[in-house]
Structure 1
Amino acid sequence: MARSSFNEQASRLDGEVYGKIVAEMEDGIIAIDAHGKILYCNPSAATLFQQSTDELAGQPIDTILPPRFRHAHRDHLAGFMKGPVDAKYMGSRKSFIVGYRADGTEISLGATILRTSGSDGPIFIAVLRDLTERHQHQSELERLANTDPLSGINNRRAFVDLAGRELERCRRNHSPVAMVLFDLDGFKAINDRYGHDVGDTVICEFANIMKSIGLDNDLLARWGGEEFIAIMPDATLDRSLAVAELVRRNVEVLGFGAANGLSLPMSVSAGVTVSQDANESLDELVRRADLALYAAKAGGRNRVATQIGETTVAA
């Protein structure tokens, strides 16, 4: 005797059994009509949104969406209603639905949306899974991957990615962009004489100086070793030179190594370059800033130099 098919087996389950399965599922399930009104939600969905099943039933689906997404969601629902597919999944490392709880907090949701028919017209079933913890974990992993563990600012990898986006934006707007490359003078001697613990303290203190001046509001990163880099969207040559000079003066007057009970004199050299229309590549801007930095070092250190085109000028 041939085994019955899955559909034949499923057909033997009555409505009470189906209802029990839905009611006890860990995933939230919400049914809405063609007008976006909630017809049903299981206890898991009610828990997700911090409301009771009775409170949610009869409300518009907008109730569980952040206000800023409500208008767009209506358009998505209308498009799905008329579209060719009966199922759609939304929820990945980069993409998810944002839910809105009764207390005003937001949650990240993965959602499978199913379209079916009822006696009164189309019905949409949303199967929801809370991805908030997963996304928080993923965000923390990405933050760690993009952060220099010593100074707490962007690392080189993150800078290249973010600076490329800023360059593209400035290019579209035909606005200038400046780049500054800093190098701590005599840093190797600090490591050699006082050890790497003191060297690490100096790196952190220098990063804090740049952040206090506001460079992290532009885009700041540790380029490598004792080199730091900043890209300043919409910045003129005068502004970028003024900021680089402000950093230089702060380093000159402050003592370093305080966490180690020291007050070491330090200085920094800087190379500045500006692109008026942001029409150079990131590599080209880095090359010019590096040439300016080399000129500042060769000119005696503790100074700022600029590279405009192929011309180097000591500031």
Structure 2
Amino acid sequence: MTTIASIGTPPLSVSDDLFRKIVTKMEDGIIALDSRGIIRYCNPSVEGLFLRPPESLVGQPLDVILPPRYRRNHHRHLSDFGRGPADARYMGSRNSFIVGYRADGTEVNLGATILRMRTENDMVFVAVLRDLTERHGYQRELEQLANTDPLSGLNNRRAFTNLATRHIAHCRETHAPVSIVLFDVDHFKSINDRYGHDVGDTVICEFANLLKSVTQADDLLARWGGEEFILLMPETGLVRSGAIAEMVRRNIQVLEFGQPNGLSLRITVSAGVVCSTDADETLDNMIRRSDHALYAAKEGGRNRVTLAGPREALAALA
């Protein structure tokens, strides 16, 4: 017989049979392990998580329900938890969960409350497991929506800033150059005013598709805002990044955007290109330099690519 008490209420006696029924009927999977990581008990709900009958798991090492890449370290984690100060640990946040391995070779994201209990002869660990696959999939969708420009489908400014900082840091570590190109659709406001926002949206989407066609796997592309787009190219020098920007400029000026009235619309773009090998130069400074170069391209008549000078020249342009 077990007694459960809470403040301000008389103790409640719960029989072992009732506890057994609760554990058996729970939708969450429950697994009990000994100190060696051998499974000693599974409730029926475990079968839905791992696609294995509970009785087939009893007596097996925990490895059988862990992906192969995690098996090497789980004994150490279990031992560390056994020696630690806490008797319970929860894993099920956005960035912390357990990955389970199913009988069919697929994986499942699990939230886990892990309890540590000492018996007369051994340490027992009890894991209460819940399938978080749907939740994590939903979180990934929300993160994707938060980081994606809804019109072009490209990264938005927030996502670009977060990812670009990592790209630049990697290039600094490897002493590789990194280039940024800032594009701007020429006279975009007049396109919206003359043809309507639907046509303007089409121009944005088609230009985004053209930019996608010239990017490589490690490049980072985003809609910077309005009619501006930004492209970061790791391990790319000024000559190559300038050539890519020029190729985009040439390609876009020969495209025809068909209109409902049978007329066609042609557009042009301007671009500012910057390359950096300076270990101390920040992303913000590179973007400022590319913006100055873009401004120079527009001042020079638009429909052109301007390469930024060295970082030291920034003060003279400001």
> 1:261–1:229: structure 2 CA closer, same or farther, 3 Å change rule?
farther
Alpha-carbon separation, structure 2, partners of 1:289 and 1:216: 22
Aligned residue number for residue 276 of structure 2: 275
> 1:134–1:57: structure 2 CA closer, same or farther, 3 Å change rule?
same
The size of the alignment, in residue pairs, is: 308
Offset at 1:262?
Answer: 5.4
Q: After superposition, what is the alpha-carbon deviation per residue over 1:254-304, rounded to whole angstroms, capped at 9, x for unaligned?
A: 223479965321111110001114421111011100111111112221111
SS in structure 2 at match of 1:279: coil
SS in structure 2 at match of 1:84: coil
Alpha-carbon separation, structure 1, partners of 2:97 and 2:124: 22
Offset at 1:214?
Answer: 1.6
SS in structure 2 at match of 1:43: coil
Report matched runs for 1:83-102 at 5 Å.
Answer: 83-102=84-103
Alpha-carbon separation, structure 2, partners of 1:301 and 1:185: 7
SS in structure 2 at match of 1:238: helix
Offset at 1:244?
Answer: 1.0
> 1:39–1:257: structure 2 CA closer, same or farther, 3 Å change rule?
farther
Is contact 2:155–2:222 with CA below 8 Å preserved after alignment? yes
Aligned residue number for residue 56 of structure 1: 57
Offset at 1:16?
Answer: 2.0
Aligned residue number for residue 5 of structure 2: 6
Aligned residue number for residue 113 of structure 1: 114
Q: 1:207 is aligned with what amino acid?
A: A
Offset at 1:74?
Answer: 2.2
Is contact 1:177–1:277 with CA below 8 Å preserved after alignment? no
Alpha-carbon separation, structure 1, partners of 2:294 and 2:279: 20
SS in structure 2 at match of 1:251: helix
Q: Where does the alignment leave 5 or more consecutive residues of structure 1 unmatched? A: none
Q: Where does the alignment leave 5 or more consecutive residues of structure 2 unmatched? A: none
> 1:246–1:259: structure 2 CA closer, same or farther, 3 Å change rule?
farther
> 1:20–1:188: structure 2 CA closer, same or farther, 3 Å change rule?
same
- Normalising by the residue count of structure 1, what TM-score does the alignment of the two structures yield? 0.91
C-alpha RMSD of the superposition:
2.1
> 1:41–1:161: structure 2 CA closer, same or farther, 3 Å change rule?
same
Offset at 1:82?
Answer: 2.0
Q: 1:85 is aligned with what amino acid?
A: A
Report matched runs for 1:1-315 at 5 Å.
Answer: 6=5, 9=11, 12-214=13-215, 217-257=218-258, 263-309=264-310, 310-311=312-313
> 1:248–1:71: structure 2 CA closer, same or farther, 3 Å change rule?
same
